[in-house]
Structure 1
Amino acid sequence: MTIWEVMADADRERWTYVPSVSVGPLRFGMSPAEAAAAMAGFTATLTPIRPDNVLRAEFRRAAEPPSSRGALAAYFVESDSLFCVVVDAQSGPQVTIDGVELVGRVPSRVEAQLLELMTARGFTLRYQWEGNPEAEELGLSMRVQRAGDVVLTRPVFAVFGDRAATFWDIMPSDELKVH
């Protein structure tokens, strides 16, 4: 896979997002060891992130070289409790909520579908300062990632707990650098 290549949907794993519970096989609150065990077919590279005081686990498919793009990043507070999962737009699994596909999509299309979903649930779709939509009640922020001359959706899934009052507060600082 080249730097700008986007994985075909047919080649992506298919996961479901359950707000405040799980993203595919990853359950919020699990440890890095539990996450690694749940991610069959993937390898993880662990990195402490300062000044956030969190541990980042970057998961790659086991068959891919270490230099390949990570399919997703999982963040652990105090190194022992999963609180955030970010899925790569180009190579991550396809994650859905109520039939809405969230990964590697045209941002305006996902935004429209999220607006419909949030309205049906009686919630309001909000926007972060840089214009990305977020569904705070669902623990979901739709960021974007460049893939050549286009941008595609790169969802951030999180649980707030005692760590933050807003989505912006909980966003790991290294995720703010991805464009």
Structure 2
Amino acid sequence: MKWTESTRPSTGRTQWRVELSKAQPAWGRPAVKCYFVEGVGLTCVLVDGRFGPQVTHEGNRLIGRVPSELFDDMESYAIQHDVGLRSSPGGDLSVGAFDIELGAQRAGDAVVTWALLFNTGEIAGASWDIAPAEVWRHW
């Protein structure tokens, strides 16, 4: 476990990141990163597509999947439950009713999905307002 502290210029609030790795991390990459904001608490959890634990939401596996298959599942869920889809800052689809952003990262010669679970609370309007910039560069 690794603990990092910084101050977010846009809010002036102190932000912490806790990284959780497997016992023998491959390439030193954390399996999960948890982000905390002063006065708010836990705001985001980033789960790596290669090394993170499996996460499911509403019966959909989110981690380590072929992106097109997961995005098809998200679209089917949205149609079946009459909820909207939205696009992440990286252009990936997710269900509007979920506080989850999905993305893709390289896994050798393949590409697999990662997930950001977030809670904007009362200090942000959307995931890109609350998540640190490093999240959107998670390849």
The TM-score bracket by the shorter chain reads 0.7 to 0.9
Q: Which residue of 1 aligns with 2:70?
A: 110
Q: Secondary structure at the match of 2:21?
A: strand
Matches within 5 A, 1:19-168: 44-51=1-8, 53-61=14-22, 63-64=23-24, 68-78=28-38, 81-168=41-128
Q: Residues 87-130 of structure 1, C-alpha deviation per residue, up to 9 Å, x if partnerless?
A: 01111100111221100110010001011122233211111343
TM-score (norm 1): 0.67
Letter in 2 for 1:119: I
- Pairwise CA RMSD of aligned residues? 2.1
Structure 1: segments with no counterpart, 5+ residues: 1-43
Q: Is the 8 A contact 1:88 1:103 kept in 2?
A: yes
Q: Residues 3-23 of structure 1, C-alpha deviation per residue, up to 9 Å, x if partnerless?
A: xxxxxxxxxxxxxxxxxxxxx
TM-score (norm 2): 0.85
Q: 1:177 to 1:49 in 2, by over 3 A?
A: farther
Q: Which residue of 2 aligns with 1:24?
A: none
What's the CA shift for 1:169?
1.6
What's the CA shift for 1:80?
6.2
Q: Residues 121-159 of structure 1, C-alpha deviation per residue, up to 9 Å, x if partnerless?
A: 321111134311133421011111111232210111011
Structure 2: segments with no counterpart, 5+ residues: none
What's the CA shift for 1:65?
5.5
Q: Is the 8 A contact 2:90 2:136 kept in 1?
A: no
